[in-house]
Structure 1
């Protein structure tokens, strides 16, 4: 069998993806950044394995995570502080 060498990028991608899922499950915004690192790693693997589907899918996933960070920041930045009374 002809095995491709991914230079450890596959392991990095896997670890970043699992850490990201864990952090997002804990409602931690850093998970989206970790996932974007994982997506970038998967894009590199797609390039090394000549898989256009993997490249395109992870570019889209990267964009979706970027959108999530932007939306999360807008939601949490505009929310009143817990000690601040709500204004009607």
Structure 2
């Protein structure tokens, strides 16, 4: 009984090769770090958007990769702006 349910769970959990799980974890880490004022949060945001994009492509979504391409640019911009602001204050 448990074996069939466990197999079904594992099949569903690995359907997208873990890209959805990685994206979720990267997103949570990004939000936590940015909420604590840590610039590295943008790096995790970049990993999150790449993971979400891969997931969206595998899931057959059109909107997901488009939105995450924009989020990717915004994360890169945030990282660069933060670096500029730190350089100006030194």
Bucket of the pairwise TM-score, normalised by the shorter protein: 0.7 to 0.9
Name structure 1 gaps, 5 residues minimum.
Answer: 81-88
**What is the TM-score when the length of structure 2 is the normalising length?**
0.82
Name structure 2 gaps, 5 residues minimum.
Answer: 1-11
The yes-or-no answer on 1:59 pairing with 2:69 is yes
Q: Distance in 2 between matches of 1:56 and 1:27?
A: 27
Counterpart of 1:43?
53
**What is the TM-score when the length of structure 1 is the normalising length?**
0.84
Number of aligned pairs?
78
Q: Distance in 2 between matches of 1:41 and 1:8?
A: 9
Counterpart of 2:87?
77
Q: Distance in 2 between matches of 1:52 and 1:77?
A: 39
Task: Give the ranges of 4+ consecutive aligned residues of structure 1 lying more than 3 Å apart after TM superposition.
Answer: none
